[in-house]
Amino acid sequence: MEGINLVETFSEFKEFKNIDRETLMRIIEDIFRHMLIKKFGSDENIDIIVNIDKGDLEIWRNREIVEDDEIEDANTQIALSEAIKIEPDFEVGEEVSEELKLSAFQRREILAIKQNLISKIQEYEKDSIYKKYKEKIGEIITGEVYQVWKKEILILDDEYIELILPKSEQIPSDFYRKGETIRAVVSKVEMKNNTPYIILSRTSTIFLERLFESEVPEVYDGLITIKKIVRVPGERAKIAVESYDDRIDPVGACVGMKGSRIHGIVRELKNENIDVINFTMNPSLYISRSLSPAKITSTIIDEENKKAEVYMKPEQVSLAIGKGGYNIKLAGKLTGYEIDVYRDMDVDAEDVDLQEFSDEIDQWIIDEFRNIGCDTAKSVLELESEELVKRTDLEKETINEVFRILKAEFE
């Protein structure tokens, strides 16, 4: 039997990866049925068999045999004289199934069918891609860099679907070449001019959250909850975590043994400094933890205006503010308070850190004093020499010499 051969057309569909076999067959059948209705007025008596593997399609028209002078509808009825040419044993009232061969269609009709097929499948493919990635928003995607432009990077996934990573969604130190592998989170999916536009991001806090889920099983399993993440991409990030299981240390689990878990995340984020802190409902404690590594002396909270005055030793102020002011800015975003840092006025401004005397006092002696909590000159002078002999491994003569050097500083 001579079928309507569509091998060439079918071969063009190989590039469409997101259309399953059943859907492709349905689209092809729908296109042909639309054409048959246009040609014959109805398709109710027509069977269509699509064979994608062979690349062909068969159309069979079923008609009732009637007497030659009783034909009312040439589409659903066939004269007995015509039927017996197909099969001599046919009789009036029986049904004839006849294949519609290529000659029954004009070349213009075949070309129109082919064009409609390609158009419909492309439309379905785009819609399928849109729906697929709409469900992937918030998920990490791994792709290959296909083209690098000034304002964006074109990425192909494992099905050669085009994804876009804009410059604004790249970490400042990101640098990629064609062919390199890249990881990012699906940030936004929209249709532009009937084409799916899939935006990726590496600066989103969701990207950092998904990285923690992939590296820390307790986060993925829900044993540790990520309460909030704030970050300056490529510079610093703060993440507040909490566990409802007292047996689990959320910070320790996220960091891992010797930083094993967090190191992979830091490398992925181009050495972004990540502070993991325990979440708490106590605002003073939460602010104190958020300003890590700085150590604060006291905090005054203005709950109504969401402001906090934080007091600390002078040497801790720079740590609290951090490079570029990132530490204090992120602490404010994490806690929801506007934080102002002040030098603690109770600290004697005239006091001198013991380390300043390292040119006159041996380092091991300074360390002995530090081990008992004496970090400054006055904290040493406030104690009696006998007391210092008991609390350190120093000789009385050595302590007296230290006293002489320290007192000279204030004379």
CATH 3.40.1110.10 is held by the domain 136-201: no
Mean pLDDT of the chain: 86
If we measure between CA atoms, which residue out of 310, 311, 313 comes closest to residue 332?
310
If we measure between CA atoms, which residue out of 247, 253, 236 comes closest to residue 290?
236
Domain 280-347 -> CATH class: alpha beta
Amino acid identity at 71:
I
What does the domain layout of the chain look like in residue ranges? 4-131, 136-201, 280-347, 354-410
β-partners of residue 188 are 199
Are the beta carbons of 254 and 216 closer than 8 angstroms? yes
CATH 3.30.1480.10 is held by the domain 4-131: yes
The whole-angstrom separation of Cα 397 and Cα 207 is 61
Its sign, for the CA torsion 132, 138, 144, 146, is: positive
> What pLDDT was estimated at residue 350?
66
DSSP string, 372-405: TT--BHHHHHTS-HHHHHHHSS--HHHHHHHHHH
Fold match flag (4-131 vs 136-201) = no
Are the beta carbons of 52 and 21 closer than 8 angstroms? yes
pLDDT tens track, the chain, 411 positions: 344 445 455 555 545 556 666 777 787 788 888 888 887 888 888 888 877 666 667 888 888 888 888 888 888 888 888 888 888 888 888 888 888 776 667 777 777 777 787 788 788 888 889 999 999 999 999 999 999 999 999 999 998 999 999 999 999 999 999 999 999 999 999 999 889 999 999 999 999 999 999 999 999 999 999 999 999 999 999 999 999 888 999 999 999 998 999 999 999 999 999 999 999 999 999 999 999 888 888 889 999 999 999 988 877 888 888 888 899 999 999 999 999 988 875 545 567 778 888 888 998 998 888 877 777 888 888 888 888 888 888 899 999 999 998 888 776
CB contact burial 354-387 (16+ within 10 A = b; e otherwise): beebeeebeeebbebbeeeebebbeebeeeeeee
145-184 pLDDT per residue, tens? 999 999 999 999 998 999 999 999 999 999 999 999 999 9
Longest dimension (CA), the chain: 137
